[in-house]
A and B are shown apart, each in its own frame.
Chain A
Amino acid sequence: MRKSILIIILLPLLMSCNQQPNEVKVDVFDYSLLEPYLNKSTDSIYVVNFWATWCAPCIKEFPYFEQLHKEYKSDKLDILMVSLDFPNQLDKSLYPFIKNRKTDLNVVLLDDPAQNVWIEKVDSTWSGALPATLVYKGNSRVFIEGPVDYNDLVNAINKVSNQ
């Protein structure tokens, strides 16, 4: 009797220990789930960055997207950070990065080996090298392969919103 009570008390404790120590949760997409985010036809501006924690220039430009998020808070601007970190290394890479950074940005993980199909769909000019950034509003699109700074992002936003 006592034993079973003990189990009833201990079981939830044990189960909670079993959970991830960090509460970081990232949605995992394949390309079919990501695709709608790259082709929205609202009057908002969408900024989509392809990055990974192991990519040094990606980490360098990460703050520019956070700055954008802050500066354009009152505008119709939506930022999505698409991580290409290795799915089997998230505990060592993406999760600690998000936890330490306490970022406000929306991060998803793209786990889809069919790269030869989806890279072309993101933008026909993209070689697949990281980082890469897509800025669009309706049918007006700017795609940048390679690192960006804050001004590049503002210029791209101005370009798509003026067309």
Chain B
Amino acid sequence: MKKMSMFIFTMLLASVTVLAQGYKIGDKVADFKLKNVDGKMVSLADYKNAKGFVVIFSCNHCPYVKAYEDRMIELHKKYESKGFPVIAINSNDPAAVPEDSYDKMIERAKEKSFPFAYLFDEGQKVYPVFGAARTPHVYLLSKKGKDMIVEYIGAIDDNYKDATAVKEKYVEKAIDALLEGKSPEVKETKAVGCSIKVKK
């Protein structure tokens, strides 16, 4: 009996762990509602003409994000008109990183003239659903019927330190494939980044 309950407990624990890992390729994404730097609440459903989204877990303080900010802007400028806008989400707890507060997000968005929505994940509720672990961390979504499906998870490209030395633009290639009605060739990549910070 004891063994059995241990077994059930272990299985429960295992299933919880699986849930905590977040979205996988092919998963349906639940919509969210988060505050943008302009004060308005934003949901995926608000973008009536979107064929998909480049959701990027981001923040203000991380040097890896800073290295990619200009490329995030370029990505949005290139693909918004094609139906794939960038949505950046800051999930860091300002209690852990004061530089990532909502007010500082507004400042950063102004400084860099972000053309995309930069949302604050207040209470850190959205990033665990996605399973985002670091910044920057991209989830490329595409619309299939009424659903938003995860098509690619990972890095923007293959060179964080030098935009001119990039050989593989992972996200661009994935969107191009989707626009041609194909599935992205590379579906997952890994990159070094800052961990998403939660106050203990």
Contacts and interface: CB of A to CB of B under 8 A. Distances in A.
Contact of A129 (B63, B154, B193): B193
Contacts of A87: 161
Nearest to A56: B97
B76 interface: no
Interface residues on A, range: 20 to 34
Contact of A128 (B97, B158, B161, B190): B190
A119 B189 CA distance: 10
Contacts of A120: 190
A146 interface: yes
B160 A115 contact: yes
A113 B97 contact: no
B196 interface: yes
A114 B159 CA distance: 7
A86 interface: yes
B162, B194, B197: residue with the most chain A Cβ atoms closer than 10 Å: B194
Q: B-side binding surface: helix, strand, loop or mixed?
A: loop
Contacts of B189: 116
Contacts of A131: 195
A116 B158 contact: yes
B37 to A, nearest CB: 23
A113 B67 CA distance: 13
Contacts of B133: 127-129, 145
A55 interface: yes
Contacts, number: 68
Contact of A55 (B158, B162, B194, B196): B194
Contact of B195 (A57, A86, A114): A57
Nearest to B186: A116
B192 A84 contact: yes
A20 to B, nearest CB: 21
A148 to B, nearest CB: 12
Contacts of A29: none
A113 B160 contact: yes
Contact of A113 (B134, B158, B193, B196): B158
B193 A126 contact: no
B195 A115 contact: no
A126 B193 CA distance: 11
Nearest to A52: B63
Interface in A93-124: 113-116, 119-120
Contacts of A116: 154-155, 158, 189-191
A32 interface: no
Contacts of A55: 194-195
Nearest to B134: A129
Contacts of A160: none
Interface string A126-142: 11111100000000000
A54 interface: yes
18 contacts: A54-B63, A55-B194, A55-B195, A57-B195, A87-B161, A88-B161, A113-B160, A116-B154, A116-B190, A116-B191, A119-B190, A119-B192, A127-B137, A128-B192, A129-B195, A130-B134, A130-B193, A145-B195
Given A119-B191, A119-B192, 5 more contacts: A54-B62, A115-B155, A115-B160, A115-B191, A116-B158
